Structure 1
C-alpha cells in the first residue's frame, strides 16, 4: 500500500477502551433516558468533524437554493480545526461556496490586536476565511482593540448587527473544561448578552503555554452572552477527548446551572451535542450501560467493568460482594445470568489477580498462561516510545527500570523535541552559562558564541506573539535532550539506545502543530525495523490537553499497520499502552499492573527531577498545580490502593498498561 494514500485515507485513531454502549439501536429513548440533550457519539474526532461539516454545508446549500444568506455563529479552538479543514476541503474539491455566508464569531480576547498570532481574528482567517470565498464584509469578529470606555456600546452594536442579519441560523459551539461556551465562564447567567468578561483562572491556565506563561494571558475577553447564543435557530455543541468528558456529563445529564453555562443549551428547542468516544466516556449509557439497558453478559470485560463499579458503590472488596449487593445496585440480570455472586466474584478476582506482574517483559521459564506477558524470549528487544522527552519516566519509570534490571534490550525513542515546553528564561540561563564559560577559558568556539548572541538577542527583543526562530527551537530542544539522557543514564540505558526522532509535525514553532506527514511515519518505521522489537510501549493518552500524545500514537499505529503486511518480526510484537501525566487507566481496563517498591518509586522520582526545565516554570502544567513527580507518585499509589480495596495484595505503588489489539 502506498503510504501517502494511507495517510490521506484512513489514519487510525485510538478509540479508548471499556466502551460497551450500543449507539445505533432503535430503542434510543431507553439508552439516552438520562440525557437532556440529543447526543451523538462517533468513534473518532475525524468522524465528528466530517459529520458536523456536512451539516454546516447542508445549511449553506439550502439557503443558497432559496437565494438567502446563511448566518453562522462560529467559535475557535482546537476542537473546531478538523471541522474548518473539512469545510475548506469541500470548498476546494466539491465547489462549496461561501458567498452567501455571514459569520459572527463568538468571542475575542481583550485587549488583543487582530494581527496578533494569539487573536481569534488571526485564527479564523488562518484556518477558514482566507481559504474560502466568503466576502470580507460578511465577516464579523469582536474587536479587541476598542477603547475600554466604548466596549459597552460596541457590544450593543454587535447585537444589533446580528439582528440586522436576521439572527443566527446555526451556532457552532465548543466547550471549555470549566463548562464555558464562548467565554461565558462559571457564574454567567441565562440572560447574559454580548459583553466584556473576566476570564476564569482555569481558562487562563489552559492558554498559558500559548502565551508563554500564565501571566501573559489576557485577563478579559469580549463574548456573546448565553441568551445571545440561545436565540440562534439551531445549536451544535462539539467536544473531543476525555478531558471534556466530565463537563459534558454535567452539561448533558444534570440540571441547568450557571456554574456550567453550557448546560443552559438544554433549554433550546433545536440543539444537539456531537462527541467522540473520549468525550462521551462519562455519560451513563457509556460509563454504566447496564443502568439503561439489558446487557450481553458473555463479554468478560463488561462483567469486570460492572463488578469493579459495584465494589466502589458497595464499598466492598470483590470477594465480599453478595447477591443482595448485585440486586441493590441494578445488576440483578448479571446475577441471574451467571447464577451465583460467588462465581462472578471469583472470576473477576482471578482476572484482576492475573494482571499483576513484577516481570513486565515476561518471567522466564514459568507457565505464562495466566500472565500478561510471554515468558519467551526471555530477553526481549523493547522499544519505549515517549511523546515528549520525559513522558517515559513520568508514566512508566518504575517499569522501565525493571525492564533494564531484568536484562532486556531496552531502547527509548523520544518522538518530538519538546522544545515548545521550555520557557525563554530557562534557555537564557543556559546560554549565559555557556557564553561565560567559553570566555573564562578563552577557548570558546567563535561560531558558537555568535549563535549564542543571536539567540539571546532574539529572546531579549521577542514580542509576545512572535514565533521562536529555528536557532531558539534548536537550543530548547537540546536542553530537553540533555535532561532525557541524564535520566536514562541514571537507569543504566546506554546512549546508543536513546533515540531522538524529532518528528517534523511538531516543529511548527507554535502550539498548533502540523498534520501527520509521510516523513513522520517513515521515521517511526525505520526505527522499528532497525530494532525489530518483541515489545513496544507507547502513550495511549487521550487526556493530553495539547494533542501531541494522540498524534504521536497515530504515527505508531499508521507505521505498524503499514509494516504488518511485510515484516516477519511483527508477528511476535506486542504493543502495550501507558497513560500520560493527566490520567490513569480504570481498574476494569488494566491488563498489566506492575508493582513498584518504595525504592523503585524513589528512583523514578529522581529520574523525573532530572528534567529540570519541566520542574521550574514548566509550560504544560495545565490546571493541576502539582509537579510532575508528585502527580506520578500520587497516581501510582492510587492505583495500588485501588487494587488493595478490591481485595488484592497491598503494594506501595503500581503502573498500569493496556494491551492494544489491532
Structure 2
C-alpha cells in the first residue's frame, strides 16, 4: 500500500526524484555515493570513471569529498575524471575557467593524479576542435564509459552546455551559448558582454552512456525548470527532458528546487492531504485563480472537479470554507504596518502596542529599502514610529566606471572654481583614468575607486531616506566586510559581519525589523545579508527586547511573494505610489540601466510599481477591495 501511495503521489513525475531537506544534506548524500563507488572500484583493482560538473551546484559535493579525503583517508588515486564542458575561448589559468574551478574546489585538495584529469581545452584553434572532441569521446569509450555522471541544470534546461535545440544523440562538440546562460554567468565575467559566446561540451548522447546519472538542483531559481524537466513532455526546447528516456538517472533536489513539482505545489491533485490552515488557504486561492472566480463564488462542484473533494467533505460546507479563507486574506490588509493604536489587534497582522515602535529597515544594497517597501517605509515614518534604516553593504560594485569619473571631474571643477588646491585630486583623477582605460573584465577596482563608488551610493541612499522623512542620525551605513571580501574570497562571511549587526540591534532594540527576503537577486547578496541578521538575532535571543521583536521579510526588486504566503499587505494610494517613485529616483546611479539588471529589463522603479500593482490585482481577483498597489510582507519566526 505504501508503494501504491508513493506512485500516486509522484504520478506526474516521469523519472526518479529524491528530495532532501536542504542543500547540505543532499550534497553529503551525493558525495558519499561517489566515495562508495570509488572504494568499491578500488577493492576490485579498477578505476572509477567519473563525469564531473562545474557551477555553484556541485560545490557542496566537492567540499564534502575533500572532507572525506582528509578525515576518512579515502584516496582518489584510482579516479579518472572527465569534465562536462569549458567555455571557448578560455585560458586554463583564467579565474573563470573550469580548470581553475576544479582545482580550487576539488583537485588541489585531494590526491588525484592530474594525468587522469580531462577537461575540454578552451585554447585550441577552432579548426582543431572537431578532432579534439572525437578524441575526448574515444578516451571515455576506451575506458569502458562513465561509471557516474554528475549534472547540474541551467535555467534554459541545459545539461552540460547542451542548450535548447540539442539532439538526444549529440556528442562532444562546440556549441553556441544561449543568451540566458550568458546572463547567468555575467557576474563572474564582469558583465554579459565579457562572457564567451561558445563552449565545448559533452553531448547528451555521451551523458546517456553513463551507467549512473545524478542531476542536482538547489534553490527556487531552479524550481520552474525542474518542473519542466521532471513533469514536462520530452522536447529539444528543454534538453534535460531527454533524461526521462534513461533508466539510470536520478534527480537529487533540495526542498526549494522541488517546490513547484505537483506533489509539493498542489498536492491535493495527487494524494490525500492533511488539511491544515496554510494548505487550505493555498488550495482555495489556487482554485479561485485556476477557475478565474472570486473566492466567495466557488461551489462544491468546483471543489469536486479539481481534486479538492476531500477538503469539501472534511471541512465543508464549501461556502463556510470560502468565507473563512476570504476573511483570513482580508485580515492581512492593513494601512497600519506598525500596528494600529488603541485597536483590537486579534485580527490584524501587527500588534497594537506599543503604539510607537522602534523599527529597523535593513537594506542589503543602498536602494532595496525604497524599491521594495518604499511606501511602507514612508507610512511608518508618517505614522510616528521611530524608524531607522540600515544599509548593509556599500553597493559599490553596481556603479558604472564613467559615473565614478564624472564625480571626480565635478570635484576637480568645483575645487578650481573656488580656488582650492587640486594637485592631489588631479593626480588621483589621472591615476583613475589610467587604471580604468586598461581595466580587465571582472577586475577589482582600486581602493580609491571602490571608496568613490561607495560614496556615490551612500549619497543617494541618504537622499532617499531623507525624502522618506528620516533624520540623519537614523540612517546607518554598516559596510559589512563580507561584501568587499567576496570579490576575492569564496566564503567571505565572517564573525565581524554578525558582530556589526548585533551592535546596531543592541543600540536600537527594535520592536520591528524589516529585511529583504528576496533571495532571487542575481548576486546572492540578499540571502547573505538575511542570514547575518538571523545569526545576530540568534546570538541575542536571551535579551528581553528580542522576545518582543518581530521580523518581517519584504520582496519586490526581483520577484514577489505568492498570495497565499502574504501575511501583511499594505495598500498604497496613487499619491503614495508617486512618493515611493520619487524616493527611488534619488538613486540616480541605478536609473535607466543598472550594472546588474538581472533578467528583468525594466527600470527598478517600473518593476516596483508593476509588482505592487500585480499584488493588488491578485487580491482584487479573489474578490477583495481594489487598491492602486500593495506592498507584501511575510513574518519570519526565529
- TM class, shorter-length: over 0.9
Question: Do the aligned partners of residues 638 and 148 (structure 1) sit closer, same or farther apart at CA in structure 2, a change above 3 Å counting?
Answer: same
SS of residue matched to 1:184: coil
Match of 2:343 among 336, 352, 366: 366
1:72-87 correspondence to structure 2 within 5 Å: 72-87=50-65
Relative contact order (alpha carbons < 8 A, sep ≥ 6): 1 or 2 greater? 1
Q: State whether structure 2 residue 308 is matched by structure 1 residue 331.
A: yes
C-alpha RMSD of matched pairs (Å)? 1.9
| Residue in structure 1 matched with residue 118 of structure 2 by the alignment | 140
| 8 Å contact kept, 1:390–1:611 | yes
Alpha carbons 2:363, 2:369 under 8 Å: kept: yes
Q: Which runs of 4+ in 1 moved over 6 A?
A: none
Q: Deviations over 1:161-208 (max 9, x none)?
A: 222333211111111111111111111111111111111111112222
Alignment deviations for residues 622-651 of structure 1 (CA, whole Å, 9 cap, x no partner): 222111111111110000001000011000
Displacement of 1:95 in angstroms is 2.2
Count residues with an aligned counterpart. 637
Q: Deviations over 1:326-373 (max 9, x none)?
A: 111111110001221110001000000000000000011111110000
Indicate yes or no: 2:85 matched with 1:107: yes
2:26 maps to what in 1?
A: 48
Which of 487, 493, 496 is the matching residue for 2:470? 493
User: Following the alignment from structure 2 to structure 1, what is the Cα–Cα distance between the partners of residues 435 and 397?
Assistant: 16
User: Where does residue 293 of structure 1 map in the other structure?
Assistant: 271
Matches within 5 A, 1:245-256: 245-256=223-234
Deviations 1:242-295 (A, max 9, x none): 111110000001121110011111112121111122211110011101111111
Matched residue, 1:661: 637
Q: Is the 8 A contact 1:98 1:133 kept in 2?
A: yes
Worse-matched range after superposition: 314-323 or 439-448: 439-448
Structure 1 segments unaligned to the other structure (5+ residues):
1-23
2:521 and 2:598 in contact (8 A); partners too: no
Change (3 A) 1:640 1:110: same
- Residue 620 of structure 1 is matched in structure 2 by 596
Structure 1 stretch 265-274 or stretch 49-58: which is displaced more? Answer: 49-58
* 2:194 corresponding residue in structure 1: 216
Q: Give the 3 Å change call, closer, same or farther, for CA 332–83 of structure 1 in structure 2.
A: same
- Deviation digits for residues 130-171 of structure 1 (CA, Å, limit 9, x no counterpart): 122211111111111111111111111111222233321111
Distance 1:139 1:638, change over 3 A: same
Separation in 2, partners of 1:323, 1:512: 58
Query: Structure 1 residues 237, 435: closer, same or farther in 2, change over 3 A?
Result: farther
The alpha-carbon deviation at position 439 of structure 1 amounts to 4.1
Partner residue, 1:175: 153
Q: TM-score, normalised by structure 1?
A: 0.93
- The DSSP-based 3-state class of the residue aligned with 1:237 is strand
Q: Which residue of 2 aligns with 1:98?
A: 76
Q: How far apart, CA to CA, are the structure 2 residues paired with 1:452 and 1:89?
A: 48
Q: Is the 8 A contact 1:484 1:610 kept in 2?
A: yes
Q: Identify which range, 547-556 or 635-644, moves more after superposition.
A: 547-556
Provide the rounded CA distance (Å) in 2 between the counterparts of 1:422 and 1:130.
35
Instruction: Check the 8 A contact 1:155/1:195 in 2, yes or no.
Output: yes
Q: Would the aligned equivalents of 1:468 and 1:509 in 2 still touch at CA under 8 Å?
A: no
The answer to whether structure 1 residue 531 and structure 2 residue 508 are counterparts is: yes
Q: Distance in 2 between matches of 1:532 and 1:350?
A: 33
Distance 1:99 1:459 in 2: 46
Normalised by the length of structure 2, the TM-score is: 0.96
Specify every segment of 5 or more residues in structure 2 that has no aligned partner in the other structure, as ranges.
none
Q: Distance in 2 between matches of 1:120 and 1:206?
A: 16
Contact 1:357 1:592 in 2 (8 A): yes
Larger displacement relative to structure 2 (582-591 or 54-63): 54-63
Distance 1:442 1:84 in 2: 60
Change (3 A) 1:445 1:374: farther
2:9/2:263 contact within 8 Å kept: yes
Q: Distance in 2 between matches of 1:497 and 1:425?
A: 31
Contact 1:541 1:549 in 2 (8 A): yes
Q: 1:477 to 1:166 in 2, by over 3 A?
A: farther
Q: 1:368, 1:586 → 2: CA distance?
A: 24
User: Does 2:41 match 1:66?
Assistant: no
- The answer for the alignment partner of 1:228 in structure 2 is 206
Q: Please, which moves more after superposition, 347-356 or 496-505?
A: 496-505
- Decide whether the 8 Å contact of 1:420 with 1:509 is kept in 2: no
C-alpha displacement of 1:616: 4.2
Deviations 1:51-98 (CA, angstroms, capped at 9, x unpaired):
222222222222222222112211211222222222222222332322
CA gap 1:196/1:641 in 2 versus in 1, 3 angstroms: same
Larger deviation: 125-134 or 219-228?
Answer: 125-134
In the alignment, what sits opposite 2:460? Answer: 483
Q: Tell me, yes or no, if the aligned pair for 1:212 and 1:619 is still in contact at 8 Å.
A: no
Distance 1:439 1:54 in 2: 67
Cross-structure match for 1:8: none
| Residue from 444, 458, 461 that aligns with 2:438 | 461
Alignment of 1:319-358 (within 5 A): 319-358=296-335
- 3-state DSSP of counterpart to 2:406: helix
2:259 aligned with 1:281, yes or no?
Answer: yes
* Aligned 8 A contact 1:423 1:617 in 2: no
**How far apart in 2 are the matches of 1:415 and 1:444?**
35
Alpha-carbon distance change, 406 to 547 in structure 1, aligned in 2, over 3 angstroms: same
Q: Secondary structure at the match of 1:27?
A: helix
Cα distance, 1:619–1:182 mapped onto 2, change above 3 Å: farther
CA offset digits 1:292-339 (Å, max 9, x no partner)? 111122x11110000000001111101111111111111111000122
- Structure 1 residue aligned with 2:352: 375
**Structure 1 residue 432, shift from structure 2 partner:** 3.1
Q: 2:165 aligns with which of 161, 177, 187?
A: 187
Is the Cα contact below 8 Å between 2:174 and 2:198 reproduced in 1? yes
Q: Is the 8 A contact 1:539 1:578 kept in 2?
A: yes
Residues 536-574 of structure 1, C-alpha deviation per residue, up to 9 Å, x if partnerless? Answer: 11112232333221121111111112211x211111101
Deviation by residue 1:490-536 (Cα, 9 ceiling, x = unmatched): 11112211222222222235397524321111111111111100001
Give the SS at the match of 2:466: helix
1:442: Cα distance to partner? 4.3
Q: Counterpart of 2:621?
A: 645
